[in-house]
Structure 1
Amino acid sequence: MLPKALFFYALSLAPMLAFAAPSPAAKKEIGQLMDALSHSGCQFQRNGSWYGAVEARAHLQRKYDYLLKKGKVDTAEQFIQRAASESSMSGRPYRVKCQGREQDASTWFGGQLRKLRHTIAPAR
């Protein structure tokens, strides 16, 4: 009986173990993505209204903090997909406008992540 009880106890813990936290490297990348936005001078559109980059960063920080509490973001890619791409309320995509060029926020953040990783990667 004891092994069966241990099995069910372990099974009951599985949902808690499924929630991983971002690694220090992922946390750093996510912070750098938000820094890139807040220092970009770009505008950020959510639900049809445009906001400055600093306001946008504050909004995304709140979403990121919420996702962290729920264990739903482990990587920079997940941050982009789950926090920085679309409104959780309306489902409408976020947009970023820099120097007159407008694009989906997911595309903008993806480009920023590629740049970040390119500058960090060791030269071959």
Structure 2
Amino acid sequence: MNAIPLPSVRRPRRWAAAPLLLAALVCGGAIAAPSAQAERETEQLIQALGQSGCQFERNGSWYPADEAQAHLRKKLAYLRKRGLADTAELFIERAGSQSSLSGKPYRVRCGERPAATSAAWLQAKLVQLRAAPGATTPSP
């Protein structure tokens, strides 16, 4: 009697994904923390907005500065976990300029002055912070 050949069955290799897993772990752990200066500047920007008494427009609605401050802190935490806010400039660009949901720019309105984009407001505040006595120049 002739035996019927059975199709070969490939068994999964148990460690085939190990190099990918190892690479993910190494890359995930390689996220560098922002410098102390970047953390300080970013915190000062968020505090300045929160204490400004200005209003903050997000997706067509105006919010008081303290709510804007809380919102930007959440966005900053999200970016920091991913190593995406290593400088104050990156914070402004990636968290403080526009809605990540709608893409609409944020705006800041202070008193009777016309509203400005939050990017411009935060950049101007960063220039002021860096020009203050005792401030250090940003590292490259």
Alignment TM-score > 0.5, same fold: yes
* Equivalent runs, 1:35-114 vs 2, <5 Å: 35-101=47-113, 102-114=115-127
TM score, norm. by length of structure 2? 0.75
Letter in 1 for 2:92: I
Looking at both structures, which has the greater relative contact order when contacts are Cα pairs under 8 Å and sequence separation is at least 6? 1
Question: Displacement of 1:116 after TM fit?
Answer: 0.2
Question: Displacement of 1:96 after TM fit?
Answer: 0.2
Unaligned ranges ≥5, structure 1: 1-7
Number of residue equivalences:
114
Letter in 2 for 1:71: G
- Contact 1:96/1:105 (<8 A) preserved: yes
Question: Displacement of 1:15 after TM fit?
Answer: 3.3
Q: Matched residue of 2:96: which SS?
A: coil
Counterpart CA distance in 2 for 1:50 and 1:121 is: 32
Task: Tell me which protein shows more helix as a share of its residues.
Answer: 1
- Contact 1:19/1:72 (<8 A) preserved: no
1:85-122 CA-partner distances (Å, limit 9, x unpaired): 00000000000001222100000000000000000447
- Contact 1:80/1:106 (<8 A) preserved: yes
Counterpart CA distance in 2 for 1:116 and 1:25 is: 11
TM score, norm. by length of structure 1? 0.84
Question: Displacement of 1:18 after TM fit?
Answer: 5.6
Q: How many percent of aligned residue pairs carry the same amino acid?
A: 52
Question: Displacement of 1:19 after TM fit?
Answer: 2.5
Letter in 1 for 2:36: P
